[in-house]
Structure 1
């Protein structure tokens, strides 16, 4: 029997994020993959609001300006503050949801006055703000004003044939804000629109990330940390204050995993009401019929690049392992991955290992000597070993080779010496299909890998291991990732059971984690074809269990709870039922 609760009757759902139509990080993946399921549930009742940081010379590749009934006409007559303007259209992703991009330059002129208002009303301390704080707050403030204007225009989801909300109906509106960068928008809506239900999601606390980024132990000492004190010590007072006040002011506060919920409770002093794990949409995963061709294309390209760079022909049987994601040396476990590769030199490997570190850094340009050699190989592939190119661990030249942590550690470990059994290559650029070397996207290359490793120290969720299993590629991650904890709760911790191996990690067991991950890779290099097929099938099943339609129930719970709290604030809503 289906016991999944029905989605609450939301008439209009706003979701505000700096990463709407703006692909800069993991939240873009969260929202863009969730959108298709939201469209199925609410069918154009969702309006995504993002920053208009684009120009005619550099337009957003993910946004199409077009007519949206009701909203486009509002945008032409909306009385917005000077320097604030909007564009209405569709987000070019599966589901093609409505998107409103907001130009927010005008909000800088009223910044000080607005900060004073937020201090008086909510206690947000913006006094020590620096960096991107003002930019995030200007956008969030403008987004709040835009929501206010849209609602005042009568636009809503439960519409009459004329496109207006029926006077007999009290609109059930939810405004959902993601991360501290949108916190000022939530507080503005809380102040100006008490009838609107508010939801705030922190995907990673600003102070928790800062603690880890400053090489302080987060987990052994979590119960001893005070968020306000650490914010002062790490010069994070403004962002932390805003995030904390938004979390407390929201009708419903959510985060993406149990591990981050504990972090929020300690550092923000509010336990999230609902944990909303990040699901996935498998739209870009090749179909079973197309997967063999996709895998061959990816492997051929990766082996060709490695052969050209190192001067040694890579066998088709080479075991390819990848780590990827943000270039956060400690937080994402890049340090640990390199030490695993070093450890593999001393393991009994059944296949030679080719390891790629695919993380965008301060790349200067694609290496011309590499692209020239690849072009030559396309004409006359070499069979015997040739001389390696200079610095044969890099596919792209770096602007800062002497201070890049990954590059320095690779040379320190001697990978430029080209061990015959373990080759490590650093790809310090965005793999978007036109990087100049691979010219395939990360998702085009992923099917060609034999395994992925994401040994994160700080990972509130962990999309990269989830993406991996969606492609049927076994992955190794740690118990300090939200995805890793979810996998441990939902299946047995063996490759052939779920395609995932979760390694227990803490503040004091670095070396044992290195040993355990090296053992996992060693095991996979020796797995036979029958075992590999079983692991591939198990990985795909795990991904299906993390699909958005299954995880949306947690958002339903959050929205229903937020709406009930908004109704308690507005007694008139009860009378109108």
Structure 2
């Protein structure tokens, strides 16, 4: 990917997402890490806008309400429609950017009228909406109104801009219009972009889809996406999969945006086929390494993590692993097929028949439906007494509410991992690792540093933060060519562990068993690597992470903003 220099930066940038100050998925990581670089480039010229879904009894741990020069004054005097209210403050992340949280309850009362307007103006078909569609659209509508109000107040500008272009007059001196960009992430914010296109056509708009709603739905319904991509029609599939409202909105926003972006080339092709617009720019996801311990703390943090991972495995299985055990981890959302959890488990099974040089503990760290941490496991860990007898169900750290329908535990059982074979042990951690899980009491990052390798064999993965996080800790990773990160690695490096700390396995719709075998061989190789080779691989991994930092990737967004401003200027 060639990074083009910015030709024009916005004087004021709004970025709207459901995940601003609301940590529920990968977009939170995108925005919260990008913010630090935006603040370095131009402090406090970016305003993040998110949903105010919090209360006094359940406040956001990532937001502090406080005075922000200019915005706080606006918020006290803003004449917003009934049912819309705002809180102004700071997002408590590196860089502490400005954040505005929006209450949007009042938008439900005007929902039908607004949907009708969007149908007439942009062809958005909300007739078959269900689930979270109304909530996302209510927030987006309110966010658009809030942006309009902020701009008309003159915040961040030498002079306010009119809501609509003024007619030209002979002899009038040309007025310099402030450059303002409103950036919307995912279909959940799309109505806000359309509102501004309608009400404030001078504002340049950017739309980023981090995954198309219809592409994700195709995969989620176990349909082959890639072999048949050229034959899919997005509108037809939306009708078939009952996704008409979301797809209609996403497609309309993609076509109406002044600049349309997505996070990887593989998703760009998906957009071109299913949304019928090729993204103007591919904007890969960078990140900041602020969660990685400093060099002087690194070895101690790794030793603590390894001790916790190995001691838990011993307490569960009685297998007597020592520090030479090879710990491999997969993590992320609990999407059995899309995240490749099926391949990971079959890979662990295949390793039992290979010539590995170290005993392997394979962790599956994905939040499912946990009931409680196991009391018998807690007792063994607290006692810290060696044992050679396994616990009942020695593959599970937390009891499940749905053990008979959980895909991971069912597959783990069927592969025979409940019968302890110390060569390869699988351990399922079905809870969110935030430091209070009751077994490890460490965060995912605090444990990740102790791994010898990670595997993320995704089927549907527009970008893929998990392998990027892994290499930031110097932990080599295996991913697939169907992930955006994997494609970036293939474009940037030779595909060897020693070159980049990553091994990208070619994956399609028809080579499942080959993927299983190839990943197993990659792990087998790592178990037999000597200390010098391992050190080179870990250093290469860290170098890869450094190359994927926001300081390198932010220029892709600069290009998108320049395109948006240029296209918006044509409407003047």
What interval of TM-score do these two structures reach, taking the shorter chain for normalisation?
over 0.9
**Structure 1 residue matching 2:418: 3-state secondary structure:** helix
Work out whether residues 156 and 171 of structure 1, in 8 Å CA contact, stay in contact via their aligned partners in 2: no
Q: Distance in 2 between matches of 1:456 and 1:158?
A: 48
1:276-335: CA deviation from partner (whole Å, max 9, x where unpaired):
000010111112221100100111111111111112322111000000011100000000
Q: Distance in 2 between matches of 1:369 and 1:132?
A: 40
Q: Distance in 2 between matches of 1:397 and 1:215?
A: 28
**Structure 2 residue matching 1:501: 3-state secondary structure:** strand
Q: Distance in 2 between matches of 1:414 and 1:9?
A: 58
Residue 495 (1) aligns with residue 502 (2): no
Question: 2:338 aligned to 327, 331, 340, which one?
Answer: 331
1:365 corresponds in structure 2 to 372
Q: Distance in 2 between matches of 1:266 and 1:86?
A: 39
Which 5+ residue runs of structure 2 have no aligned equivalent? 161-173
Superposition pairs for residues 15-54 of structure 1, below 5 Å? 15-54=15-54
Question: 1:551 aligned to 550, 553, 559, which one?
Answer: 553
Residue 220 (1) aligns with residue 227 (2): yes
Superposition pairs for residues 178-189 of structure 1, below 5 Å? 178-189=185-196
Work out whether residues 257 and 460 of structure 1, in 8 Å CA contact, stay in contact via their aligned partners in 2: yes
- Give the Å deviation of 1:398: 1.0
1:314 corresponds in structure 2 to 321
**Structure 1 residue matching 2:260: 3-state secondary structure:** strand
Superposition pairs for residues 186-225 of structure 1, below 5 Å? 186-225=193-232
1:99-141: CA deviation from partner (whole Å, max 9, x where unpaired):
0000111111111111111000000000000000001001000
Q: Distance in 2 between matches of 1:185 and 1:390?
A: 53
State which drifts further: 306-315 or 70-79: 306-315
Residue 136 (1) aligns with residue 136 (2): yes
- Give the Å deviation of 1:192: 0.5
Q: Distance in 1 between matches of 2:127 and 2:113?
A: 12
Work out whether residues 7 and 553 of structure 1, in 8 Å CA contact, stay in contact via their aligned partners in 2: no
Residue 477 (1) aligns with residue 484 (2): no
Superposition pairs for residues 527-538 of structure 1, below 5 Å? 527-538=529-540
**Structure 2 residue matching 1:101: 3-state secondary structure:** strand
Question: 2:307 aligned to 260, 283, 300, which one?
Answer: 300
- Taking a change above 3 Å as real, the CA distance of residues 237 and 10 of structure 1, as seen in their structure-2 partners, is same
Question: 1:507 aligned to 500, 506, 509, which one?
Answer: 509
- Give the Å deviation of 1:3: 9.0
Number of equivalenced pairs:
558
1:392-447: CA deviation from partner (whole Å, max 9, x where unpaired):
11111111111111111001111111111101011111111111111111111111
- Give the Å deviation of 1:6: 4.5
1:248 corresponds in structure 2 to 255
- Give the Å deviation of 1:169: 4.4
Work out whether residues 265 and 272 of structure 1, in 8 Å CA contact, stay in contact via their aligned partners in 2: yes
1:4-24: CA deviation from partner (whole Å, max 9, x where unpaired):
625633111000000000000
- Give the Å deviation of 1:372: 1.8
1:269 corresponds in structure 2 to 276
- Give the Å deviation of 1:336: 0.3
1:349 corresponds in structure 2 to 356
- Give the Å deviation of 1:365: 1.4
CA RMSD after TM alignment? 1.4
State which drifts further: 305-314 or 221-230: 305-314
Q: Distance in 2 between matches of 1:131 and 1:235?
A: 11
Work out whether residues 11 and 158 of structure 1, in 8 Å CA contact, stay in contact via their aligned partners in 2: no
Work out whether residues 9 and 561 of structure 2, in 8 Å CA contact, stay in contact via their aligned partners in 1: no
TM-score w.r.t. the length of structure 2 is 0.96
Work out whether residues 10 and 42 of structure 1, in 8 Å CA contact, stay in contact via their aligned partners in 2: no
1:574 corresponds in structure 2 to none
